[in-house]
Structure 1
Amino acid sequence: MIDLTVDVQNASTAPDLPSAEQIETWVQAALQGAQWQDGDAELTVRIVDEEEGRELNLSYRERDYATNVLSFPFTAPIPMPVTLLGDLVVCAQVVQGEASEQHKTLVAHWAHMIVHGTLHLLGYDHIEEDEADRMERLETTILTGLGFADPYVEVGN
């Protein structure tokens, strides 16, 4: 088991947010699924409302809307005793809206966003088709291992 520290910051007024324990479980599963070998790890997960999500997405990606998850990897300038992976910012209202639109349970979509964002912190991406396929396969393996359905299978209305 990886010695993991997850700092969960709740800056959202949204209801039905996952617990810090759930978030840590999902991060731990992502690290194990990606075969994390670099020892202890630490990251921050900040849950925000749409205004802050939109501001961050505009500032860092030049996109003027709130998105589901933003990943900010961290590279230490000097060796450190623990690996600081970076920060995830998750917009609660976007996650809730997507879960409803995609006919998924809210908890399953939250798990997906945390796993997805954590994999981004580890260097996974989905810009190129082969990268996307690799990342999606890994996400599916991790999420089904947690008892959730494949997040990329469309669920009927």
Structure 2
Amino acid sequence: MTTKQASPSKLEIDIQFASAAIEDKVLAIASLALIKNWVKSAVQLNGLITLRFVNAAEAKKLNFAFRNKDYATNVLTFPYELSKKAIAADIIFCLPVIQKEASDQIKAVKAHLAHLIIHGCLHAQGLDHENDKEAKKMEGKEITLLKSLGFTNPYAPI
């Protein structure tokens, strides 16, 4: 008698850079393999996650177009499909904002980037932080996932 093993998740991760300069800066922080590992730790579904690293001008333009907010933000998540088995989403990261936040919060850029990648992936899976109950649930998942990756609690006071 043979047992059928569950097939591993077939999650495709596409990583894009708005420019060669942004690509160089991101890859100086974390390798493509490491970034993909962070995504896979947060998403156990089949599908496609696209990560795009942009400058402040592109982030501001997207934030205004889709959220009517006239500033560059650290991460924007665009979920297109979500079911119990499949996901499709674009997640946009503004590297200059991420770098400034890490500096302001006295955190390593790598740790802050890992946190925001996990954060964006959880948004793509329907989690949010619009009220205290949702925020507590989402933050708990972020803390647990980041700890499993060797990072400290991003919400701990400095």
Aligned residue pairs, count: 145
Structure having greater relative contact order (Cα 8 Å, sep ≥ 6): 1
Structure 2: how far apart are the matches of 1:19 and 1:47?
Answer: 13
Partner of 2:10: 3
Structure 1: how far apart are the matches of 2:143 and 2:116?
Answer: 12
Structure 1: how far apart are the matches of 2:38 and 2:47?
Answer: 14
Structure 2: how far apart are the matches of 1:50 and 1:124?
Answer: 25
Task: Select the residue among 51, 55, 60 that pairs with 1:49.
Answer: 55
Note if contact 2:78-2:89 (Cα within 8 Å) is conserved in structure 1: yes
Instruction: Find the residue that maps to 1:108 and give its secondary structure.
Output: helix
Q: Name the % identity.
A: 41
Structure 2: how far apart are the matches of 1:62 and 1:19?
Answer: 33
Is 1:122 the equivalent of 2:125?
yes
- 112-121 vs 21-30, which moves further: 21-30
**Alignment deviations for residues 90-122 of structure 1 (CA, whole Å, 9 cap, x no partner):** 000000001111111111000001000000000
Cα offset, 1:2, TM superposition: 2.5
Over aligned residues, Cα RMSD in angstroms?
1.8
Letter in 2 for 1:16: K
Note if contact 1:2-1:28 (Cα within 8 Å) is conserved in structure 2: no
Structure 2 residues not aligned, in runs of 5+:
1-7
Cα offset, 1:4, TM superposition: 1.8
Is 1:16 the equivalent of 2:25?
yes
Q: If the length of structure 2 is used for normalisation, what is the TM-score?
A: 0.85
Report which of the two has the higher share of helix.
Answer: 2
Partner of 2:109: 106
Structure 1: how far apart are the matches of 2:146 and 2:157?
Answer: 15
Structure 2: how far apart are the matches of 1:115 and 1:75?
Answer: 18
Structure 1: how far apart are the matches of 2:31 and 2:96?
Answer: 16
Q: If the length of structure 1 is used for normalisation, what is the TM-score?
A: 0.86
Change (3 A) 1:4 1:75: closer
Instruction: Find the residue that maps to 1:148 and give its secondary structure.
Output: coil
Partner of 1:30: 42
Runs of 4+ in 1 over 3 A off after TM superposition: none
